[in-house]
Amino acid sequence: MSSWTPHPPTPSSLGDHAVALEGTHLLGKRIALLITGGIAALKTPMLARALRRQGAEVTAFISDEGLRFTTAETLAWCTDRPVVSTLSPRSEHVSDAEQFHAYLVAPATYNTINKMACGIADGPLTATLASALGRMEQGACAVLVCPTMHGSMHTRILTESLQRLQSFGVTVVPPRDAAGKHNLPDEEPIVVAVSRAVSTSPLRGKRILVTGGPVPSVLDAVRRLGSRFTGALGVEIAKELSYCGADVDLILGAGSIAAPAWLHARTAHDVDEYSALVRGALATSAVQAAVLSAAVSDFAPTEPRAGKVKTSDGPWTVHLHPTAKVIDAVHADFPAVHLVGFKYEEVSSHEALMITARARSAMHGACVANRGEENARGTAQVAWLVTPGHDPVRLEGKPAIAAAIRAHLEQCAATHRMAHT
């Protein structure tokens, strides 16, 4: 291991308390982060910064017990705002001067959850939550709780309290199950839950199918014919749509990168399984749009071999035939589903690619097109979003591509054009 040669850090334009934005799903949203007295409170400063990385303005409320595990100074630094630990004549608990879009209780202890369910307001946090529940009943905010506690405290009392809170409209963020405890989830699923709860996107509640990654064809029992694509774009699209409140069904080809656990992805191990999973998703749920970014193998062997072909058998000649285009079959069988297809070319001019993409978009609804000449290894992916009646839009980087697809689907949903005709 070589020693580090000391040198100054790379200069940054960010202020000392600022965070680099990773998205804008909480831009302009005021979030009250209520921290109760569990050991998981030590993670809340980083949770506050994760919320801010999506654009949120975060104010921390913390109980005396919570201050045993983190400090007001740390929270003030991470939120860049004063921390509320006691109630003053300003009546911070009713938040009239600064109304919040969401109240997030993280961690939410056994004590606080049961007090919320019973309407007890005997301290700064529970009084704030009593007001929050009242605002929620008026449709003015969202309330979320992240239960964290030892497994022995998961009693019938707790279950009934959580069920009662959910019946009121409170969102319960599922805890991370580990070591016999309800643990605070990682930051991202909590931020996703908050984003979904406050989303005003026309895609909120819409079911959307997303596919991605390399879908291979079978050569023999262990060998597959696939592509070099990774599924990173499909995962990015699924995340972007989930953040804005869409209910995403994600199907990834075998060999894709791992999707976050909160996305609940399924795996297609070959072309036939991919086709079956896509058709099954469209046939059994009210999917209103499908973003089919999977790189499905264009060729399959005429006769896949049983078992494992041995090198001692000598040369192996494989005859390939084109596979059926799943997107065309989906369009024919599910015409009400708005489709976003993808087209990739090598050794192609931009003009030729646009001609193909326009034809595809006229047939399916939208097409994301790119070519190898515009995508050098190690550089940001360049693609063009082509939709009927509009000029192609150049996009650079997977987050930008995902955001453009989300905006396109939002426009379709808002104008009642989600179903392609």
Taking only the tens place, the pLDDT of each residue in 3-35 is: 888 999 999 999 888 999 999 999 999 999 999
Is the pLDDT reported for residue 56 higher than 80? yes
pLDDT digits (tens, 9 = 90+) for 256-290: 999 999 998 999 999 999 999 999 999 987 999 99
Identify whether 17 is part of a domain. no
Identify whether 1 is part of a domain. no
How much is the pLDDT for 376? 72
How much is the pLDDT for 112? 97
pLDDT digits (tens, 9 = 90+) for 224-233: 988 889 999 9
Specify whether 181 is located in the same domain as 234: no
Specify whether 176 is located in the same domain as 268: no
Specify whether 346 is located in the same domain as 363: yes
The single residue listed with the structure tokens 């070319």 is 345
Contact 216, 271 (CB under 8 A): yes
- Structural domain boundaries, residue 262: 207-298+320-414
For residue 296, how many other CB atoms are within 10 A of its CB? Answer: 26
How much is the pLDDT for 303? 87
Helix (H) or strand (E) holding 79: helix 72-79
Specify whether 277 is located in the same domain as 179: no
Identify whether 16 is part of a domain. no
Domain boundary among 144, 177, 198: 198
Specify whether 178 is located in the same domain as 54: yes
240-254: b (≥16 Cβ within 10 Å) or e: bbbbbbbbbbbbbbb
Percent of the chain with pLDDT over 90: 82
Is the pLDDT reported for residue 353 higher than 50? yes
Identify whether 314 is part of a domain. no
How much is the pLDDT for 124? 94
Specify whether 188 is located in the same domain as 245: no
Is the pLDDT reported for residue 148 higher than 80? yes
Q: What is the mean pLDDT of the chain?
A: 93
**Radius of gyration, CA atoms only, the chain:** 25
Measured distance CA(175)–CA(179) in Å, rounded: 12
Domain boundary among 198, 221, 250: 198
Specify whether 193 is located in the same domain as 218: no
Measured distance CA(268)–CA(56) in Å, rounded: 37
Residue type, 314: G
Contact 99, 147 (CB under 8 A): no
Is the pLDDT reported for residue 419 higher than 60? no
Identify whether 398 is part of a domain. yes
Q: What is the rounded average pLDDT of the residues 230-238? A: 96
Identify whether 393 is part of a domain. yes
Is the pLDDT reported for residue 421 higher than 50? no
Helix (H) or strand (E) holding 387: none
Specify whether 57 is located in the same domain as 78: yes
Q: CATH number of the domain that 49 lies in?
A: 3.40.50.1950
Q: What is the rounded average pLDDT of the residues 247-258? A: 95
Identify whether 290 is part of a domain. yes
Specify whether 222 is located in the same domain as 185: no
Domain boundary among 198, 226, 243: 198
Q: In what order do the strands lie in the sheet with 57-62?
A: 57-62, 30-35, 102-108, 142-147, 171-172
Q: Where are the beta strands (DSSP E) in 63-165?
A: 102-108, 142-147, 149-150
Specify whether 363 is located in the same domain as 222: yes
Identify whether 149 is part of a domain. yes
How many domains does one find in the chain? 2
pLDDT band at 420 (very low <50, low <70, confident <90, very high): very low
How much is the pLDDT for 378? 73
How much is the pLDDT for 47? 98
Write down the pTM of the prediction. Answer: 0.92
Specify whether 148 is located in the same domain as 66: yes
Q: How far is CA 300 from CA 223, 322, 327, in A?
A: 12, 6, 17
Which residue, 167, 130, 119, 118, is CA-closest to 34? Answer: 130
Specify whether 186 is located in the same domain as 330: no
Q: CATH number of the domain that 381 lies in?
A: 3.40.50.10300
Is residue 107 reached through a cis peptide bond, with omega within 30 degrees of 0 on the bond before it? yes
